[in-house]
Structure 1
Amino acid sequence: MSALTPELEIARFLRQLKWIAVILAAGWVVWALAPILTPFVLAALLGWLGDPLVDRLERRGRSRNTAVVLVFILMLLLLVLLLLVLVPLLERQVRTLVSSLPAYRDWFVQVALPWIEQRTGLELMVWLDPERLFTWVREHWQQAGGAAATLFGYLSRSGFAMVAWVANIVLLPILTFYFLRDWDLLVERVASLVPRDHVDTVARLARESNDVLGAFLRGQFLVMIALGVIYAAGLSLVGLKLGMLIGLVAGLISFIPYLGTATGVVLGLLAAVVQAQGLDLGLLLMVAGVFVAGQMLEGYVLTPRIVGDRIGLHPMAVIFAIMAGGQLFGFLGMLLALPVAAVANVLLRFAHERYRQSDLYTGEQVRIVLDTTPSAPPVPPTEQERQ
C-alpha cells in the first residue's frame, strides 16, 4: 500500500478539520436556538411516526393530502380520548391530594422533624415560629431584599417562559400537519444531498437507524403506558388514596431506567406512611410489591416483547445521554437524547465494523500461515492402478 504524500496528508487533515468546524457550529446553533426548536423537533417526531400510516393509505388509492388529513384527525382523536380519560381521574386525585395536605403537614411537623432532630441534634422546629422568622428577616433585610429581587426576576422570566410554552403548544399541531404532508419530500431533498459515492452506505445506515428509532420510540411509549396503568391500578387496589396519581407519574418517567420505579417507591411509601398516620407494615409491603411486580413485568415481558433487543443501549448509556442532553440543551436535549444515542449506537457499530476490516486492525503486512497439522500417510496404489 503506497504512502500518501505530505500534500495529500495536509489536504485530508484540512478536510477533517473543516467537518469538525461544521459540526461544532451546528451544535452551537442548536444550543442557541433550543427554546424555539422544541416544537419543531416534537412535530418532526410525530410526523415521522405518522408517515408510515400515511404511506399505507396512499398505497390503497388515497391522495397524499387525504391520507395526511385522516392521520392528523386520528392523532387528534387519540389525544382527545386520552384527555377525556385522564383529566377526570387526575382531577379526583388532585382533590384528594389537596384535602390530604393538612395531614402531610401535621406528619411533617409532628413526626418527621422531631425524628430528624433526635438523630442529628439540629434545631429545626424553632424555624417554624413566625416571630422568629420575622426577626430573622428584620436582621437580614438587605439579603432578603436581594433574594426578593432575584425571586421576582425569576417569576418574570417564568412568566415569559410560560407564554413561550403556550405558543409552542399552539404551533405543535400546525407543524405536525406540515411535517406529515411534506415528509417524503423532505427525505428526498436530504437524500439528494448525499455524495453519490456514499449513497449505498448512507441508505443502509438510514434504514438501520429508522428500525432502531421505530423500535425504541413506539415500543418505549407502549411500555410507559403499560407501566403507568400497572402501577396506578396496583396502588389503587392495595388501598393507596393517591395511587392513581403516583402510578401515572412513575409510568410517565419510566423512560429513564429505574428513575420511574425509584420515584414511585419513594412517593408511594411516603403516601402510605401519611395515610396510615404511622408505619402500617402491610400497606408498605403491598406498595413495594406493586413496584417489584411492575419491574419484573417490564424486565421479563414488556421490554423483551415490545421493544426488543435491537436498540442495544446500556442503561448507564441511557442515563448519561439524558443527563448530558439536559445539561447541554435543556428540555430539547432531553427530548433528543435517546434518539440521538440510538442513532449514534448504529454509527458506532458501523465504525466498529469498518475498523475490523481496516489495515490498522488486521495489519498492513500479509502473514503466511503454514499448515502444521500432520497429514495422513499416502495410500499405496492398488494392483489395478499399478497395471
Structure 2
Amino acid sequence: MRWSQIFLAVALGVLAALLAWMLLVRLFPVILIAVAGFAIAYLLDPLLVHLQRRGWSRGLAVAAIAFLLLGLLALAGILLVPALVSQITSLASNLPRYTEALIELAGPSAELFADLEQRFPDFISSEYLEQQFETARDWLTSKIPSVLSFLSTTLLRSFRAAGVAFLTVLVALWFMLAMQPFRQRFEALFSPDEAVELRALDREISLMLGQYLRGMTIVCFLIALATLLLLTITHHLFGTQYSLLIAVFSGLAYLVPYLGMLTTVVLAALLSYLTAAHDPWLAMGLNVAILLTVNQLFDSYLTPRIIGRKVGLHPLAIVLAMLSGGTLFGLWGMVLATPVAAAIKIMLTRWVPVISPAAPEEEGAPCRPAPLALDLGTFAAQTWKALRDAGREIKAAGQRLGDRNHHTPEAAQPVPTTHTEDSTDDHPGTTH
C-alpha cells in the first residue's frame, strides 16, 4: 500500500508539472505583458517617489506619468510608424532587385579568383572559391522568399504591437499604484533584520537598473536622432534611401553591446551602396564613417555621462552574458543580459563571502565578508598578488631551509667520548 501511494504521488506530481508547463506556454503572451508592465513600473518607481517627496500624491504622480507615456505612444504612432512602415514595405518590394545587384557586383569574382590563384598557387584554388561563391549565391537566392515573408509578417505584427504597447502601459500603471503595498506585504514575509537587508538590496539594484535602463533609453533615442540627421544629409548629397529605417535600427541595436553596432554598419553599408543615385562607393564609405563616429562618440563621452554609474562588469562577462541570454531567450535575452547580469552580481557580492574577510571598520568590530570578485580585471590583479605573495613565502622558506642545512654539519659533528670513572657504572662487571 505504501509503494502504491508513493507511485500515485509521483504520477500526480509529474501530471501537475506537465499541466503547469502547458498552461505556461499557452499564457506566455499574457505573462510577458505582465512582466513588461511590472518592469516599467519598477523602473519608474524612483520618479514617483521623487514626485511624492515634492508634495504630489501617488495617484496624481501616476496620472502624470500615464499622460506622458500615452502621449509618447500617440506621437510615435502618428509621426514615426507610418513612415517606418512605408520604408519597410519599399525595402521588401525592392529586395529581389537589390539581390541581383549584389550578384552582379560579385560577377568579376572569377577573374579575381584566377588572379589570386596565380599569385598564391600553393594556397588558393580558383575552382574551390568559385564553387563556394556559387553555393553562397544559390543560398541567398533561395532565402529571398523567406525574407519577404518575414518582412510582411513583421508589418502585420507592427500593427498588433500598438495594441500590446497600450495594454502594457495600462498594466504598468496598475503596478505603479500597487507597488508600495506589494513591497510592504513582501517584506512582511521576512524577519525585521532580513527586511532591512532586502530593502538595502532593492535600493542598490533599483539604482543600478534605473540608471542603466533609463540612461540607455535616452542614449538610444539620441543615437537614432543623430544618425537620422546625418544620414538625411547623405540622402540629399547622394540620393541614398531608408535613412529612417537605418536610424531606428541603430538606436535599437545599441541595446545589444558590440554586435549591435556591427550589424548596423553592415546594413547601412549595403543599403547605401544599393540605393545611391551616384558615387555608391563614396556614399557607402561616408555612411559607414558616420555610424562608426556616432557610436564611438557615444561610447567614449556621452553614454558614461548620461548613464552615470556603470554596471561594473568586465567586457568579457558582458559578452558571455549576452550570448547566454540570446541562447535562452532570443533577442530580448541579449538586450536584457547586461542589466540582469549586473543585478546578479550585486546579489552575489552581498550574499556570497569569498576570497578573504574585509578589514573591520572599527577596532574590535567583526570582519565583514569581502565582496565577490566578479570583475575579471580586479580578480586577475588579486590573483596575481596572491601568487606573488605565495612565491615570496616559498622563497623565504627555501632560504630558511638552506640556512638550516648550512649550519647542520657543524652541529652534527660527533663529540669524542672519554673514559671516565662514571663509565664503570655502565659496565658493572669491569675492573680497573
Task: Return the TM-score normalized by structure 2.
Answer: 0.60
Match runs of 1:91-106 below 5 Å: 91-94=85-88, 96-97=90-91, 100-101=94-95, 103-106=97-100
1:121 aligns with 2:130: yes
Moved more, 330-339 or 168-177: 330-339
Change (3 A) 1:256 1:265: same
Aligned to 2:289: 289
CA contact (8 A) 2:253 2:264 kept: no
| Counterpart-to-counterpart distance in 1, 2:39 and 2:332 | 12
Aligned to 1:179: 175
Match runs of 1:1-387 below 5 Å: 35-94=29-88, 96-97=90-91, 100-101=94-95, 103-112=97-106, 115=109, 119=113, 120-122=129-131, 123=134, 168-169=164-165, 171-239=167-235, 240-276=240-276, 280-330=280-330, 333-334=333-334, 336-351=336-351, 355-357=355-357
CA contact (8 A) 1:236 1:243 kept: yes
Deviation of 1:352 after TM superposition, in Å, equals 6.5
Deviation of 1:238 after TM superposition, in Å, equals 2.0
| Counterpart-to-counterpart distance in 2, 1:310 and 1:229 | 24
Moved more, 117-126 or 314-323: 117-126
**Seq. identity, %:** 30
Secondary structure in 2 matching 1:356 = coil
| Counterpart-to-counterpart distance in 2, 1:353 and 1:310 | 23
Deviation of 1:349 after TM superposition, in Å, equals 3.0
Change (3 A) 1:206 1:40: same
| Counterpart-to-counterpart distance in 2, 1:203 and 1:334 | 28
Change (3 A) 1:334 1:243: same
Change (3 A) 1:116 1:163: farther
Give the RMSD, CA atoms, in angstroms.
Answer: 4.0
Change (3 A) 1:232 1:116: farther
Q: Deviations over 1:220-252 (max 9, x none)?
A: 111111111122222221233222211220221
| Counterpart-to-counterpart distance in 1, 2:160 and 2:251 | 27
Extract unaligned runs of 5+ from structure 1.
1-24, 134-153, 363-387
Aligned to 2:147: none
Aligned to 1:369: none
Aligned residue pair count: 309
Change (3 A) 1:188 1:127: closer
| Counterpart-to-counterpart distance in 1, 2:369 and 2:48 | 45
Q: Name the aligned partner's letter for residue 81 of structure 1.
A: L
Moved more, 80-89 or 303-312: 80-89
| Counterpart-to-counterpart distance in 1, 2:284 and 2:110 | 21
Moved more, 320-329 or 74-83: 320-329
CA contact (8 A) 2:103 2:137 kept: no
CA contact (8 A) 2:220 2:254 kept: yes
Change (3 A) 1:261 1:329: closer
Larger Rg: 2
Aligned to 1:151: none
Deviation of 1:96 after TM superposition, in Å, equals 4.8
Q: Name the aligned partner's letter for residue 198 of structure 1.
A: E
Change (3 A) 1:54 1:205: closer
Q: Name the aligned partner's letter for residue 52 of structure 1.
A: P
Extract unaligned runs of 5+ from structure 2.
1-16, 114-128, 143-149, 359-366, 371-432
Deviation of 1:66 after TM superposition, in Å, equals 3.4
CA contact (8 A) 1:227 1:251 kept: yes
Task: Return the TM-score normalized by structure 1.
Answer: 0.66
Q: Deviations over 1:306-346 (max 9, x none)?
A: 11243112333333223322322446644653332121121
Deviation of 1:126 after TM superposition, in Å, equals 10
Q: Deviations over 1:339-359 (max 9, x none)?
A: 321211212333576653279
Aligned to 1:144: none
Secondary structure in 1 matching 2:312 = coil
| Counterpart-to-counterpart distance in 1, 2:24 and 2:330 | 9
| Counterpart-to-counterpart distance in 2, 1:49 and 1:83 | 23
Q: Deviations over 1:136-162 (max 9, x none)?
A: xxxxxxxxxxxxxxxxxx9xxx9xx99
